[in-house]
Amino acid sequence: MPEIKVTPLGAGQDVGRSCILVSIGGKNIMLDCGMHMGYNDDRRFPDFSYITQNGRLTDFLDCVIISHFHLDHCGALPYMSEMVGYDGPIYMTHPTKAICPILLEDFRKITVDKKGETNFFTSQMIKDCMKKVIPLNLHQTVQVDDELEIKAYYAGHVLGAAMVHIKVGSESVVYTGDYNMTPDRHLGAAWIDKCRPDILISESTYATTIRDSKRCRERDFLKKVHETIERGGKVLIPVFALGRAQELCILLETFWERMNLKAPIYFSTGLTEKANHYYKLFITWTNQKIRKTFVQRNMFEFKHIKAFDRSYADNPGPMVVFATPGMLHAGQSLQIFKKWAGNEKNMVIMPGYCVQGTIGHKILNGQRKLEMEGRATLDVKLQVEYMSFSAHADAKGIMQLIRMAEPRNMLLVHGEAVKMEFLKGKIEQEFSIDCHMPANGETVTVTTNPSVPVDISLNLLKREMALGGPLPDPKKPRTMHGTLIMKENSLKLVSSEQALKELGLNEHQLRFTCRVQLQDPHSDPDTLHRIYTHLKSVLKGYTIQHLPDGTVMVESIVIKVSSSAEDTNTKVLLLSWSYQDEDLGSFLSTLLKKGLPSGLC
Amino acid sequence: MTEEEEEDNNSRSDGALHAVGWRRRKRRLLSPAARLHLSVLRGTHRWYKDLHVYQLEHPTQVIEWTSARTVCVAGYSPSKNEILELHLPLKIFADENKGLCAERDFKVVHGGFTDGPVRCLRYIPGTRCAVTGDGLSSNLQVWDLGGDDSDVIRRTGSIEGRRRRTGVSEGGSRIAARLLSQPQILHGAQISDVQLTELSSGQTLYQLESDSADPLSSLHFLSDTVFLAGCSNGNIYVADTRTSAAPQLSPPPASSGESVLWWTDASAGPDPSGCRVVRLSSSGQALVSDLRNPGGAVSRAQLDVQTRCCSPDNVRVSWAPVLDDCIAVSGFSGAVQIYDTSVWRSEPQEARPLFEHRGHAVSPEQSNDGVPPVLVTSHVWHPKRPRTLLSAASDGSVHVWDWVDQSAADGQTEAVEKR
């Protein structure tokens, strides 16, 4: 039976790294190659031994597809391609290709330089890995090889995030990566057409949440900023150049207008350049509103937000500063943090996840004394706020996506089966499809029912239609006679005569003859007539004719009577039938061997 | 040009006009709903310590605490509905390190499916059981809310109500639950129906003896054995399940009209006789009385509610478990109001709310084109946190909010009229 196999790589119940293997139509595909941010040892990498115990992965994988630039989806990519070994194609969208290496390099620096780890990929490895990347455009079908094709769809969530449709023959799989169904201030909502994949693969992590509204998160953010400004404090917001920074800037700008606030808002120059650069490149990836504004003027020319100069950090009075990098691990944001940390009137707002080893991570874990270079300690007296603005789908979102794509099966990864029973039941009930929930390392096999398209010759079609009967009904298959010809990659159904003609063969007719002896005192014609009457009473519903040339015909079977030369009471019946009437012919000969019943006239 | 825009133009240079023009364009990029929301935002960041806004797939008429951190909600559409047990976001409970907790979402910890609407849902304290009523008959459904080994809420049985020839009142049976040695359910649709059923055996332990067909609006346990039944015509009955004596009746004030409906809540206390009862009418009259003198009113007020479109299914009045003398009122509109009854007098006067949560009425989902107005369908107080409430509305929104007492915060005595 044709089947698709899906295996989420990972150990035990841990969530936090995405790497899924799919076997479809003889092709092997790796979806995402994430790093587990919670481990410090090899457990952070996916377990590639599932694919092969030793040696390079090139021979075992047809392609690798990365959904977006978050490290739990691409963090192990250089390790996989350069340290384990993979030389095949790696697919990702243009923005992901541009941003991935920056995040990977940052991550590498933190892990190796700051934490002194050794079994880790190098800068050169990141570069070599990215050379293998083939960028994807939205809604564009890419032929990986003769049989495998992939297509990227908009996923929302972060800049460049994609959901990917994978097709081999008539079997297909859609992998969602991380997505969200409600539009953001700067990103649209995920969208996919009714592609009806055999399997829709999605994370289950957020499937059982109901998200607090964006406006409440924003309200909280504005409230915290406002309170700090009101008491004369300074607010530091470390950001990565893209995405959230714009959103928060728009929010603050609007709020400053409404509340008529005067305190200055700054963003560091590194931010503007990078942001503008990327936005110009990837303008099609943001939502309609941003695109309209950007077309009219530059993204970062706000009325209240000005470029930052490092000397401003020492200015008295309240202010808000957006600075890179996002995890406070180096650069300007760290410099500003060091200056402001000692004052409890100040605040730092962390808008996202911070990797272990960074100052960001430490203060988010409640650490109030930090060891800096040269053994100096920094007392963290300012207020630390962790606010998550990342856009994820929730329970409602998953149902919406299923409604959009209409998959035949649903597959949820990264969830505990006991915690997913309700969602499974909900999906099964509402959509009448199976919902699978493999544990990490477990393979789910989904049987598919691919339809094989076959061309039918017009003659054969006409002939079948001429037979009459009820109209074709997919639920009631009807037998038809024809010959299937497979030439190259095409399948054709033709009538037998046409097939014989094409093959240059002659049709042979088979005819069977048998003699049955019968004791009957009547004359030959009378005996024939008696046979006719007998058969008419037994074989109701069959065409039985008594022909003037002295034969009885049952369908195509011919029956003749003649007397034996030795004895006129011994009749010899000659039965002759064609191959098509084999069954009936055999039946008749057996029947007539039994003789004629006496009551006949 | 608006006044604002003209003023802007006159006081700006050419370069800045460009910036202003862009600002105007950007403002227009906000939808009307977003603009409204932003204006509410401007004011409300001072009014709430916490505010969380959620959108369920289907609206609920019930919110019931099943632990200090979980609530049950359920749909009320005519056929199949979901019943969900939700865990409140961790951020609400992270008192010391609130800033470090980014968790703002509800978690669906258990879920199940019902065959009909859920109009009433009661959790049986000390168990993992809940009882629901569908408002169509006096029969109740019993559910197992599930434990650690499964996230499915399963129906485990049903309880039959007493049938009455006069038919069932709107809203079906009211339910109160308690755990003595065994879970016991007090239920009924009318006063004459009220009975106490033992859950495990289905045995009827007590039946209220009364011929009255007064439809019920609520049932409350005041102690292990004493209970209060509030009727929609304003009558209150107090009875003891140990005796078959006739219940004590206290009628509503004589001035109430014919078609006025009433709702009731009783404050639980160590001593049932010291219990305070609040009654609220569909014309906005509120009455506080003491069980020592149930017939008389201790204090009265005319509440500031819209009385035209209240549905008997939606109105709720409840005593605050922690704040003395405070009640919450909802169901008349898209708002939840908090009143301080300690300033009410024996002569009815207009009362203004101490706080009004209007979040449901300005939710962005609402549009202005002939869609019926959003009504709050339910609210509950948090059992321990003084100013934390949950409220749900007909558009499927559920809010968790912790309000700031403005009068205390500003050091002024603002909204509350003192004699």
Angle at B383 between CA B355 and CA B190, to 5 degrees: 90
Task: Count other Cβ atoms within 10 Å, centred on residue A25.
Answer: 19
Interchain pair B42, A259: CB under 8 A: yes
Q: Which chain A residue lies closest to B87 (C-alpha atoms)?
A: A209
Summarize pLDDT for A457-469 with one digit per residue, the tens: 888 888 877 776 6
**pLDDT grade, residue A39 (50/70/90)?**
confident
Q: Is the pLDDT of residue B216 over 80?
A: yes
Kindly report the backbone phi and psi dihedral angles of residue A121, in degrees, each rounded to the nearest multiple of 5, phi listed first: -75, 155
Is residue B367 scored above 90 in pLDDT?
Answer: no
Q: Do B19 and A426 touch (CB under 8 A)?
A: no
Q: Is A291 on the interface with B (CB under 8 A)?
A: no
Closest Cα to residue B263, out of B320, B330, B308, B341?
B330
Name the pairing type of β-strands B388-393 and A171-175. unpaired
The structure tokens listed for B99 are 């800033």
**What per-residue confidence (pLDDT) applies to B409?**
56
Could you give phi then psi for residue A105, rounded to 5 degrees? Answer: -65, -45
For the entire predicted model, the pTM comes to: 0.80
Least confident of A8-17, A211-220, A350-359, A550-559: A8-17
pLDDT digits (tens, 9 = 90+) for A438-455: 888 889 999 998 777 788
3-class secondary structure for A490-508?
A: EEEEECHHHHHHHHCCCCC
Does A230 contact chain B (CB < 8 Å)? Answer: no
- Percentage of the residues of chain B whose pLDDT score is greater than 90: 38
According to the per-residue pLDDT averaged within each range, which of A20-34, A109-123, B241-255, B341-355 is highest?
A20-34
**Is residue A189 scored above 80 in pLDDT?**
yes
CA distance A382 to A385: 10
**Could you say which of B20, B23, B99 has the minimum Cβ distance to residue A383?**
B99
Is A351's pLDDT higher than 70? yes
Please report which confidence band the pLDDT of residue A54 belongs to, taking 50, 70 and 90 as the band edges. Answer: confident
pLDDT exceeds cutoff 90 at B72 = yes
**Amino acid type, B97:** N
Give the type of residue at B324: D
Direct distance between the N- and C-terminal alpha carbons of chain A, in angstroms, rounded to an integer: 60
Q: What angle do CA B327, B330, B336 make, to 5 degrees?
A: 80
Instruction: Please name the residue of chain A whose CA is at the shortest distance from the CA of residue B16.
Output: A303
β-bridge pairing A347-350 and A234-238: parallel
3-state secondary structure A300-354: CCCCCEEECCHHHHHCCCCEEEEECCCCCCCHHHHHHHHHHCCCCCCEEEECCCC
A468-518 residue pLDDT tens: 666 767 777 777 788 898 888 788 898 888 888 888 888 888 889 999 888
CA B218 to chain centre: 13
| Beta strands B183-188 and B195-198, pairing class | antiparallel
Length of chain B: 419
Q: Is A115 on the interface with B (CB under 8 A)?
A: no
Residues 6+ apart with CB under 8 A from A502: A485, A494
CA distance B292 to B107: 44
Contacts of B102 in chain A (CB under 8 A): 386-388
Q: What are the tens digits of pLDDT across the range B314-347?
A: 899 999 999 989 999 999 988 999 999 999 998 8
| CA–CA distance, B130 with B44 (Å, rounded to integer) | 36
User: What is the maximum alpha-carbon separation in chain A?
Assistant: 138
User: What 3-state class would DSSP assign to A178?
Assistant: coil
- Residue B4: pLDDT over 70: no
pLDDT per position as a tens digit, A149-167: 999 999 988 888 999 999 9
- Using CA atoms, how far apart are residues A563 and A520, in angstroms rounded to an integer? 9
Integer angstrom CA distances of residue B366 from A414, A485, B273, B373: 36, 62, 45, 8
Q: Is the predicted pLDDT of residue B21 greater than 60, yes or no?
A: no
Strand order in the sheet with B262-266: B262-266, B276-281, B285-290, B299-303, B349-351
Answer whether residue B179 shows pLDDT above 80: no
- Judge contact between A75 and A102, C-beta under 8 A: no
State the pLDDT confidence band at B66, using cuts at 50, 70 and 90. very high
**What mean pLDDT is reported for chain A?**
86
* pLDDT for residue A55: 81
Mean local confidence (pLDDT), A239-263: 83
Higher pLDDT, A456 or B407: A456
Q: Are A158 and A186 in contact (CB under 8 A)?
A: no
A234: helix, strand or coil:
strand
How many angstroms separate the CA atoms of B199 and A339, rounded? 65
Q: Which residues make Cβ contacts (< 8 Å) with residue A49, sequence separation at least 6? A: none
Q: Between residues A264 and B234, which one has the greater pLDDT?
A: A264
| Closest-CA distance of chain A to residue B310, Å | 28
Give pLDDT, residue A14: 59
pLDDT for res A269: 67
Mean pLDDT of B53-69: 94
> Is A381 near chain B, with CB under 8 Å?
no
CB contact under 8 A, B100 and A297: no
Confidence (pLDDT) at B6? 38
- Chain-chain contact of B151 with A420 (C-beta, under 8 angstroms): yes
CA separation for the pair A145, A147 (Å, rounded): 6
pLDDT digits (tens, 9 = 90+) for A289-330: 556 655 555 555 677 888 888 899 999 999 999 998 888 888
Return the closest-CA partner of residue A22 out of A215, A245, A253, A198: A198
Q: Which residues of chain A are within 8 Å of residue B106 when distances are taken between CB atoms?
A: 209-210, 212
**B390 has a pLDDT exceeding 70:** yes
> Cα separation of A9 and A33, whole Å?
9
Q: What are the residues facing B206 on neighbouring strands?
A: B196
B109 touches chain A (CB under 8 A): yes
* Residue among B42, B99, B109 minimizing CB distance to A258: B42
Rg (C-alpha) for chain B, rounded Å, is 23
| Whether the Cβ atoms of residue A451 and residue A170 lie closer than 8 Å to each other | yes
Strands B388-393 and B397-403: antiparallel
Residue A580 neighbours by CB under 8 Å, 6+ apart: A556
Question: Closest approach of chain A CAs to the CA of B169, in angstroms?
Answer: 33
pLDDT given at position B257 = 63
Q: Higher model confidence: residue B71 or residue A587?
A: B71
Within A9-134, residue ranges assigned H as helices are 71-74, 77-78, 94-108, 123-131
Annotated catalytic, A406?
no
The Cα–Cα gap between A16 and A100 comes to: 18
Residues 9-38 of B with CB under 8 A from A: 18-20, 22-23, 25-27, 29-30, 37-38
A394 contacts chain B (CB < 8 A): yes
Task: Give B111's contacts in chain A (Cβ within 8 Å).
Answer: 422-423, 425-426
Tokens of B156: 């485990």
Banded pLDDT at A37 (limits 50, 70, 90): confident
DSSP state of B385: S
> Which comes out higher in pLDDT, residue B87 or A469?
B87
Provide, as residue numbers in chain A, all residues whose Cβ is less than 8 Å from the Cβ of B53: 212-213, 215-216
Are B151 and A212 inside 8 Å of each other by CB? Answer: no
DSSP structural state of residue B98: G
What is the spatial distance between Cα B374 and Cα B391, in angstroms, rounded to a whole number? 12
Give the separation between CA B387 and CA A32, rounded to whole angstroms.
46
Instruction: For residue B295, give both structure tokens.
Output: 């017939």
Average pLDDT for B117-133: 93
> CB distance from A199 to chain B under 8 Å?
no
Q: Would you state the pLDDT for residue B43?
A: 60
**Residue A392 above 60 pLDDT?**
yes
pLDDT higher than threshold 50 for residue A99: yes
Q: Does A226 touch chain B (CB under 8 A)?
A: yes
In which residue are the tokens 């398209």 written?
Answer: A453
Instruction: Provide the pLDDT for residue B208.
Output: 87
Whether residue B14 has pLDDT greater than 50: no
Count of residues in chain A: 601
Nearest to A421 among B20, B107, B151 (CB): B151
Average pLDDT value for residue range B234-240: 89
* CA torsion through residues B202, B207, B213, B215, sign: negative
CA distance A41 to chain B (A): 27
Residues with Cβ within 8 Å of residue A245, at least 6 apart in sequence: A239, A267, A271, A275, A322
Alpha-carbon gap, residue A187 to A181, rounded angstroms: 10
Does B3 score more than 60 pLDDT? no
Confidence of residue B418 (pLDDT cuts 50, 70, 90): very low
Is residue B112 less than 8 Å (CB to CB) from chain A? yes
Measured distance CA(A63)–CA(A4) in Å, rounded: 16
- pLDDT band, residue B414 (cuts 50/70/90): very low
pLDDT tens digit string along B271-315?
767 788 999 998 888 999 888 876 677 899 999 887 766 677 889
In angstroms, the CA A563 to CA A551 distance is 14
A247 touching B, CB under 8 A? no
Mean pLDDT over each residue of chain B, to the nearest integer: 81
Q: Coil, strand or helix: which one is B234?
A: coil
- pLDDT bucket at A384, cuts 50 / 70 / 90: very high
CA distance B28 to B32: 9
Q: What is the pLDDT of residue A249?
A: 85
The SS3 assignment for A283 reads helix
Inspect the interface and report whether the beta carbons of B151 and A218 lie closer than 8 Å: no
Model pLDDT for residues A590-601, shown as the tens digit of each residue: 988 888 887 665
Per-residue pLDDT, B165: 41
Distance CA B150, CA B110 (A): 8
DSSP string, A529-593: HHHHHHHHHHSTTS-EEEETTTEEEETTEEEEEEE-SS-TTEEEEEEEEEGGGHHHHHHHHHHHH
Arithmetic mean of pLDDT, A416-439: 89
Q: What residues of B are in contact with residue A426 (Cβ under 8 Å)?
A: 82, 111, 113
Given this model, what pLDDT does residue B373 score?
Answer: 82
* CB neighbour list of residue A313: distance below 8 Å, 6 or more residues apart: A321, A335, A336, A339, A340
Residue B393 confidence (pLDDT):
95
Average pLDDT over residues A43-52: 86
With pLDDT > 70 as the criterion, what percentage of chain A qualifies?
A: 92
pLDDT digits (tens, 9 = 90+) for A535-558: 888 888 888 888 888 888 888 889
Is A513 within 8 Å of A588 (Cβ atoms)? no
What pLDDT is recorded for position A230? Answer: 93
Nearest CA in chain B to A364: B100
For B325: left if phi > 0, alpha if psi spans -120 to 50, otherwise beta; the answer is: left
B170, B215 Cβ separation under 8 angstroms: yes
Residues A425, B113: C-beta atoms closer than 8 Å:
yes
CB proximity A399 to B under 8 Å: yes
Options A82, A203, A218, A247, the catalytic residue = A203
Q: Which residues of B touch A289 (CB under 8 A)?
A: 29
Q: What's the pLDDT score for residue B366?
A: 45
Q: Point out which residues pair with B221 in neighbouring strands.
A: B227
